Amino acid sequence: MNAEKLGKIITFLRKQNNWTQKELANKLGISDKTVSKWETGCGLPEISFLPDLADVFNVTVDFLVSNNAVDDFALYESLVDSYTHSNRAQNKITDQIETLTDEFRGASTFDPELYEKYDVKRGLRDYNGVGVRAGLTKVSEVVGKKEVNGQIIPLEGDLFYRGYNVKDLVNNCDTEHNTGFEEAVYVLLSGKLPNFHELEAFKSSLANYRTLPNNFVKDVIMKSPTSDIMNSMARGVLALTSYDYSVNDTSLENVMRQSLKLIAVFPLLAIYSYQAYVHYRENQSLIIHNPNPRYSTAENILSLLRPDGKFTPAEARFLDACLILHAEHGGGNNSSFTTHVVTSSGTDTYSAITAALCSLKGPKHGGANLKVCQMMDDLKAHVSGYDDKDGIYSYLSDLLDGKVFDKKGLIYGMGHAVYSLSDPRAVVISDIVKDLAIEKGLEDEYKLYTDVQTFATELIAQKRKIYKGVSPNVDFYSGFGYRLLGIPDELFTPLFAIARVAGWSAHRIEELLNTTKIIRPQYIHVGTRHKYVPMNKRKK
């Protein structure tokens, strides 16, 4: 290697990043004297150090070394060219982007009072936060309150899939084979409980569909791995269109077929994407197990994820219950409404479900269970022990005052837009997670959650204006349970998607069956008009 030329490359890349020699040295964990020696051509990095160097600049080792062979002028030219097209450059917020953004702000910010003036419901919600009526559905019913003589009366929460109480679906399903999710999916897609033969045939169909096309894992999933498993899944769903001979056929039968296929393969897309990520980015062994046709969805998830493929009945039972409880939640939640909107344009199933996935990944929708776990980690770091009740109470009080954790003033896992006195899903999950915590010898941690729930309910009522009551929501215990199962944080929202694709499918088919109009609400223009000015007459 030519020390002088490599030194110039390092100087160039460092300056492009606006780093001092000291800053670069800190990033590399070396002294700034060493950086200075390299840059002046008085020393060369060890060959084994080149990958780190390339990594910190976000270029390839080839780039560092190959450019080292050209003469100075050409070197400079090629550096500029390569840098302009490098990933790091494309990720930079340039001055031009900042100016454009400032101009956008100036041109597009408007007075919030205009919402009231034009009677526009922000977020499609009325002034009490209740959603505007946007559609009809027979898929599920979410109950949190009732209206008596114009007054809202809070109720214990209930959730019905096609008229069946979700608590009954969880408590009475086949806990030996953990196929409660399969039964719930059947209910959502057919509108009725399956008899024994119908359920067996349905399970066997899902097992048949639970396979990816030849080389799909290698050609699609292993490429460009990311910790954002939801985005990997979205890419996987769109890639599946290449293998479907009737992608754009929106007949109900074809959409039902596509829905079963997606419900069956979602666990594979999620787990394989995660395995690719930890292999390529975290340097762990690559584990790709095939699904077991005798296993239920919940059992397959655990066996695909774990190196030894093993799980206990209590673990599978908990996961199966979580899948049932996350499978559906009315037509107005963001991702189901997205499914309705996108479906109404006449697009294909893969596109509609990808849009729903992209909606669910938002932290205001599918990401709250992870926030609960992070908040609890932070709480543990702030208290002297699980029995430090005063410490727990004052931490929660500080949370609401926006002094700790993410400073948003929220106790995650508490409260719900529709439910008031209780979220039925949280009630069911808290019982099952308790059994799991006892099995794992972590009863004291479960007790910590119940203490937080008690104190948080009291504190939120004290510090906020609560008109309908506040209680733990489904996310309060689900993340804790997932961690008890050893499920990595990156898979929390994907697990939600594995369940919710059932609800999305039912809503898509319902939209296709009943609605022929494209969803097309109105936006009121509140800007001003301008006369076009030719280029030579504009201000310099």
The secondary structure of 376-392 as a DSSP string is HHHHHHHSSSTT-HHHH
Residue 220 CA: distances (Å) to CA of 213, 242, 269? 10, 11, 10
> Among residues 57, 337, 412, 455, which is the contact residue for ligand COA, using CB under 6 A?
412
For ligand COA, which is the closer residue by CB, 121 or 138? 121
Q: Is 166 in the site for ligand COA (CB under 6 A)?
A: no
Cα 292 versus chain centre, distance: 26
| 340 carries an active-site annotation | no
In angstroms, give the least distance from the CB of 79 to ligand COA. 48
Closest CA to 279 of 221, 210, 357: 221
By rule CB under 6 A, what count of residues binds ligand COA?
A: 21
Q: Is 414 in the site for ligand COA (CB under 6 A)?
A: yes
In angstroms, give the least distance from the CB of 424 to ligand COA. 12
Q: Where are the beta strands (DSSP E) in 340-482?
A: none
For ligand COA, which is the closer residue by CB, 417 or 427? 417
> Among residues 75, 428, 470, 509, which is the contact residue for ligand COA, using CB under 6 A?
470
> Among residues 7, 236, 366, 415, which is the contact residue for ligand COA, using CB under 6 A?
415
What are the helix (H) ranges across 149-305? 166-172, 180-190, 196-209, 216, 229-239, 252-280, 297-305
For ligand COA, which is the closer residue by CB, 203 or 468? 468
For ligand COA, which is the closer residue by CB, 173 or 373? 373
For ligand COA, which is the closer residue by CB, 291 or 494? 494
Closest CA to 57 of 96, 92, 33, 31: 92
Check 365, 378, 382, 388 and give the catalytic one: 365
| 382 carries an active-site annotation | no
Q: Name the DSSP letter for residue 427.
A: H
Give, as ranges, the residues between 306 and 325 that touch ligand COA (CB under 6 A): none
Q: Is 473 in the site for ligand COA (CB under 6 A)?
A: yes
In angstroms, give the least distance from the CB of 335 to ligand COA. 13
Give, as ranges, the residues between 333 and 392 that touch ligand COA (CB under 6 A): 368
Q: Which residues, including other chains, have CB under 8 Å from residue 258's CB and lie 6 or more apart?
A: 244, 348, 349, 350
Give, as ranges, the residues between 106 and 165 that touch ligand COA (CB under 6 A): 129
In angstroms, give the least distance from the CB of 156 to ligand COA. 15
| 525 carries an active-site annotation | no
Closest CA to 267 of 500, 17, 539: 500
For ligand COA, which is the closer residue by CB, 193 or 421? 421
Of all residues in the shown chain, the one whose CB is closest to ligand COA is: 415
N-terminal to C-terminal alpha carbon distance within the chain: 49
> Among residues 237, 411, 491, 497, which is the contact residue for ligand COA, using CB under 6 A?
411
List, as own/partner pairs, every contact residues 281-287 make where C-beta atoms lie below 8 angstroms and the sequence separation is at least 24, other chains included: 281/225, 281/226, 281/227
Residue 31 CA: distances (Å) to CA of 4, 48, 49, 81, 95? 19, 17, 14, 30, 31
Q: Is 500 in the site for ligand COA (CB under 6 A)?
A: no
For ligand COA, which is the closer residue by CB, 43 or 367? 367
For residues 329 and 173, give the distance between their C-alpha atoms in angstroms, rounded to a whole number. Answer: 19
Q: Is 483 in the site for ligand COA (CB under 6 A)?
A: no
Q: Is 187 in a helix, a strand, or coil?
A: helix
Residue identified by tokens 């409404």 is: 337
Residue 304 half-sphere exposure, CB side, CA atoms within 13 Å? 27
Instruction: Sketch the per residue contact string, 440 through 469, with ligand COA: x for CB under 6 A, - otherwise.
Output: --------------------x---xxx-x-
Where do contacts with ligand COA occur on this chain (CB under 6 A)? 129, 368, 400, 409-417, 460, 464-466, 468, 470, 473-475
Catalytic residue numbers, as ranges: 365, 416, 475
